Amino acid sequence: MRMSGLVSFLGAGIPGFLIALPLNMFLVETIRLGIEISYLFVLFIQVSINFCMVRTFLFDIKDRSNILPQYIQFLLGMFLFRFFDWLIYIFLVKATNVHYLLVQAGNIILFSFLKYKFTKKVME
């Protein structure tokens, strides 16, 4: 794996990240939604944005007709990663004094390499 591919993958995730953090904060702080439900919703939005970004800017997709099956495969695979992301998030936020937004940001780093390898397999 080339490092530039991982760096580009992380860069493509920036728009989703920039939406996910304030959205999570809004849902938790303003709407008073529980962190468990809020983060599930945020993860779905972030995964959907990331799919659009990597499909559009990172991979040379020749067949544009298979977007729905590819999205479903991406969504299901990412939610396996995100399930563990969510478990770690809930555990750390509830069991420690670490702020929920810091845990959210830390999980991005923790799972980046595996998500990149999975995304590359789905898109190519």
Distance, in Å, from the CA atom of 108 to the CA atom of 105, rounded to the nearest integer, reads: 5
Spell out the domain ranges in the chain.
3-123
Question: Please, which pLDDT band fits residue 109 given cuts at 50, 70 and 90?
Answer: confident
Q: How many helices (H) and strands (E) does the chain have?
A: 5, 0
What is the CB neighbour count within 10 angstroms for residue 48? 15
Which position has the token pair 């999570």? 24
pLDDT in tens, 57-98: 888 777 777 889 999 999 999 989 989 988 998 999 999 989
Q: Are 53 and 15 in contact (CB under 8 A)?
A: yes
